[in-house]
Amino acid sequence: MFTDDAGQGGAAPGGPGNSAGSNRRTGGDLVQLITPGGERVSHPEFDPWVQDIGDDVLTSLYEDMVAIRRIDAEATALQRQGELALWPPLLGQEASQIGSARALREDDFVFPSYRDNGVAYVRGVKPADIVKAWRGNALAGWDPYTVNVATQQIIIGAQSLHATGYAMGIQNDGADSAAVAYFGDGATSEGDVNEAMVFAASFQAPVIFFCQNNHWAISEPVMLQSHIQIADRASGFGIPSMRVDGNDVLAVLAATRIALDRARRGGGPTFIEAVTYRMGPHTTADDPTRYRDANELEDWAAKDPIHRLKALLERKGLLTADLETAVAATADAVAKELRSGTITMPEPQPLQIFEHVYSTPHSWLDRQQDHYTRYLASFGDPAGAPSEEGAR
């Protein structure tokens, strides 16, 4: 099935994958296995990769998507209430993150951007740990090696280099795991992403470049930075690519499995463009009404990834009252855990800033710590302990 960037079916003017509003673009069809109305459609190349997905897996995918949307909404509320300094909402991108993350093996390593909290959730990161850095209580919320997820990257696109380097290490170790770099459409205009693809192609590294094209790089529309489909950029590096409906969790799962299989068999890197939409602001400091047409948001809301899967479950007779109750209970539980963990989070102590800077003793850092300790002691508090209200 051919779809345009808004996920609308049919063969668009100018060829598959094009739309009247993007007639300067090229590109093949945008793969879709579940329509916005919840109809399961067939695709000869992608269907074999999800033929094992039974009713129980579909319902668990639905539960994950509902849970991470609830986490996202709760974190947004916590920021508005002054409990978090900032939050990057993922509203509308649940299928891209859950579908791809559920395709991974435990020994695969993820290199996420700041918005990929759904991926972190699937990999086992605790809800409160997801917001530690956004509260300002830690440089990172979790130990990367316990969940095989690197620290979320704030610098746009830098994680693509980290993923490629890690993938080259996998090659040297002779393992069959893979690395995955998550980034948005805006990151593809950064030098880091392009340099990463040069190295990945040259060394045929087992890395997946997973681009969530949510149509807006902060306030810049995707068509301004790329006059072709973003997936087509990868071909210039000799990297095979796929364009999938990023609001279709089944299509995303299939595409990621294909890319992982290629990486494990020594076939090198793959670029996946998951065409989705950021329905919320870039961050809670952003006002999207200043640059985005309300009609555009309305069009994409009709293709909501959770509503789509819910419609499929209804068609299959799986959306029972018991299931909805269980899913709601899971969402309530993770939201409660997130809120409780956030407001009871221990405040960082001043001298903790010197921890985990270097892996071995460092005289220069030791000298700074000594000076800062003596500075704190001048206030009569040698430990630098905060007051009851903390440093906030």
Beta-bridge partners for 31:
244
Neighbours of 90 (CB within 10 A): 26
SS (H, E, C) 189-228: HCHHHHHHHHHHHHHCCCEEEEEEECCEECCEEHHHHCCC
Active site residue 282: yes
The per-residue pLDDT of the chain, averaged, comes to: 90
253-306 residue pLDDT tens: 999 999 999 999 999 999 999 999 999 999 999 999 999 999 999 999 999 999
Give Cα 71 to chain centroid, integer Å: 14
Which of 80, 227, 265, 291 is catalytic? The answer is 291
For the stretch 30-44, pLDDT in tens is: 999 999 999 999 999
Q: Determine which one of 102, 123, 278, 339 is catalytic.
A: 278
pTM of the full structure: 0.88
- Beta sheet of 270-275, edge-to-edge order: 109-111, 179-184, 207-213, 270-275, 241-245
The pLDDT assigned to 6 comes to: 40
Angle (deg, nearest 10), helices 305-315 and 249-264: 100
Give the model confidence (pLDDT) of 245-260 as tens digits: 999 999 999 999 999 9
Cα–chain center distance at 23: 29
Question: Residue 20 pLDDT > 70, yes or no?
Answer: no
**Predicted confidence (pLDDT) at residue 25 exceeds the cutoff of 70:** no
Range 37-43, long-range pairs (CB < 8 A, 24+ positions): 37/308, 37/311, 38/308, 38/309, 38/310, 38/311, 38/312, 38/313, 38/314, 38/315, 39/312, 39/315, 40/250, 40/312, 40/315, 41/1, 43/1, 43/251
291 catalytically annotated:
yes
pLDDT tier, 29 (very low <50, low <70, confident <90, very high otherwise): confident
Q: Can you tell me the distance from the alpha carbon of 252 to that of 250, in angstroms, rounded to the nearest whole number? A: 5
Alpha helices in 215-293, H assignment, sequence order = 222-225, 230-233, 249-264
In the annotation, is 80 catalytic? no
